[in-house]
Amino acid sequence: MPTHYNGTAREKRALNAWIKFKRAGITLGSRIGDSLRTFNLTESQFAVVELLYHLGPRNLSEISEKLLCTGGNLTTVVDNLEKQKLAKRIPSKTDRRQYEIHITQKGKKQIEKLFPAHLRRIVDEFSVLSASEQEEFSRLCKKLGLGNTNKNK
Amino acid sequence: MPTHYNGTAREKRALNAWIKFKRAGITLGSRIGDSLRTFNLTESQFAVVELLYHLGPRNLSEISEKLLCTGGNLTTVVDNLEKQKLAKRIPSKTDRRQYEIHITQKGKKQIEKLFPAHLRRIVDEFSVLSASEQEEFSRLCKKLGLGNTNKNK
DNA sequence: TATTGTTATACTCTATAACTATA
DNA sequence: TATAGTTATAGAGTATAACAATA
């Protein structure tokens, strides 16, 4: 979808980049998300379980920080994971306000079964880019994600 | 968030690119989405109204094709736009199964009020990249979005 | 007082399948 | 028979604000 907007070159460049970015996000997201849905996991749920698998137990605050979502939200996602017995809450011994969220054995097995196919899918999607293009792409995404935090606008 | 995954260089490269991509999508999306929410528009609703504004009336099939969502889904989004009187359904004269979705005067005003700020936000977010980086980024996103459609894997 | 997490509330999105009306 | 769109259904995510328990 071209922009159909008559702005300055600078505006058109940014708008075009944003649109391409969003569309790539939708299409890749749905292609990659499909491979998760066959395991009865939503992307949010997968993100949490995968984080626990690779980083170990974390409390809700830490997870919400990593995954950039609100606390009340994460309660729901973790609730749904507990229903599926893929994660569990364990009260913290040091701070009785906190829970540590742990991945369960079933969750580990699920990730181990699912991750290779998931990874294959990702490698496949990115194989349209050369190695150096992928690296450049990562670099640009990172820069965009960090934003102009030190520009103090 | 680094990948914490010990795979081949190829796998790590793709996984890293995917994670950076997703995170940039979340952070940029929320920063840019905020500017829409102040106008009581969700991103989906904005996408539809903006499309109608810039491309003119379209029927539901055409919109769902452009925005990559399902039909039943779009019914809901357009319903919500009609409630806000930002869009309206007009029965097609040539094919009585179809509706043309039109933007309303109120919708046009809304876009005209909202779009400059929205655009400024996007230009600002992308200003962390140089002009040529933005162009390279668009190119890479486009390539990713199209996927390996002619690889017939 | 501040923090961790839950609850309550309410809405939006999303998909699927069955359905209506029309072509 | 096929197509355009709605309806019904159901679930998942999202945010906000008020709240309880603990620090």
Question: Which of chain A's residues 58-117 bind strand D, using a 7 Å CB cutoff?
Answer: 69-73, 76-77, 80, 95-97
Instruction: Answer yes or no: do B13 and A126 touch at CB < 8 A.
Output: yes
Residue A92 to residue A59: CA distance in whole angstroms? 9
Q: What is the pLDDT of residue B152?
A: 40
| CA to C1' distance (Å), from A72 to D14 | 9
- Asked whether residue B134's C-beta has any atom of DNA/RNA strand D within 7 A, the reply is no
- Would the CB atoms of B28 and A13 count as touching at under 8 Å? no
Chain B residue numbers touching A137 (CB-CB < 8 A): 17, 20-21, 137, 140, 144
Q: What is B41-141's CATH number, 1.10.10.10, 2.60.40.10, 1.10.645.10, 2.40.30.30?
A: 1.10.10.10
Of B20, B54, B153, the CB nearest to A142: B20
Instruction: Share the mean pLDDT of chain A.
Output: 91
Q: Are B85 and B103 in contact (CB under 8 A)?
A: no
Instruction: Please write the tens of the pLDDT for every residue from A137-149.
Output: 999 999 999 887 6
CB contact under 8 A, A138 and B25: no
Q: How far is the CA of B57 from the C1' of D1 (A)?
A: 29
Say yes or no: domain A41-144 is CATH 3.90.950.20: no
Residue B138 to residue A20, Cβ atoms within 8 A: yes
Q: What global pTM score does this model have?
A: 0.88
Which residue ranges make up each domain of chain B? 41-141
The residue of B11, B18, B129 whose CB has the most chain A CBs within 10 angstroms, and thus the best one to mutate to test that interface, is: B18
- What letter does residue B153 receive in the DSSP assignment? -
pLDDT for the residue numbered A152: 40
SS3 at position A101: strand
Is the pLDDT at A3 greater than 90? The verdict is: no
Q: Contact at 8 Å (CB) between A18 and B119?
A: no
- Show the low-confidence residues of chain B (pLDDT under 50): 1-2, 151-153
Which nucleotide's C1' atom has the smallest distance to the CA of A81? D12
Which pLDDT value is given to residue A85?
95
Nucleotides of C under 7 A from a protein CB: 3-9, 12-18, 21-23
| Nearest-nucleotide field for A42 (CA, C1') | D12
pLDDT value for B32: 86
Given CA atoms A135, A137, A138, A142 in this order, what sign does their dihedral have? positive
From the Cβ of A45, is strand D under 7 Å away? yes
Residue A91 has pLDDT above 70, yes or no: yes
Query: What pLDDT shows up at residue B6?
Result: 67
Predicted confidence band of residue A43 (pLDDT cuts 50, 70, 90): very high
CA A43, CA B37: separation in Å to the nearest integer?
23
- Closest nucleotide over all strands to B70 (CA to C1'): C15
pLDDT-based confidence at residue A33 (cuts at 50, 70, 90): confident
Task: Identify nearest nucleotide to residue B92 by CA to C1′ distance.
Answer: D4
pLDDT, tens only, B130-144:
999 999 999 999 999
Per-residue pLDDT of B53-71, as tens digits, reads 999 999 999 999 999 899 9
Q: Would the Cβ of A116 be found within 7 angstroms of any atom in strand C?
A: no
Asked if pLDDT for residue A23 goes beyond 60, the answer is: yes
Taking alpha carbons only, the member of A91, A39, A48, A95 closest to residue A69 is A48
Token pair, residue A102, equals 């742990």
Extract the runs of DSSP E, i.e. beta strands, from B2-147.
Answer: 58-59, 87-91, 99-103
Supply the pLDDT for residue A120: 93
d(CA A76, CA A74): 5
User: Distance (Å, rounded) from C-alpha B39 to C-alpha B104?
Assistant: 16
The model's pLDDT over A48-81, given as tens digits with 9 standing for 90+, comes to 999 999 999 999 999 999 998 999 999 999 999 9
What's the pLDDT at A1? 45
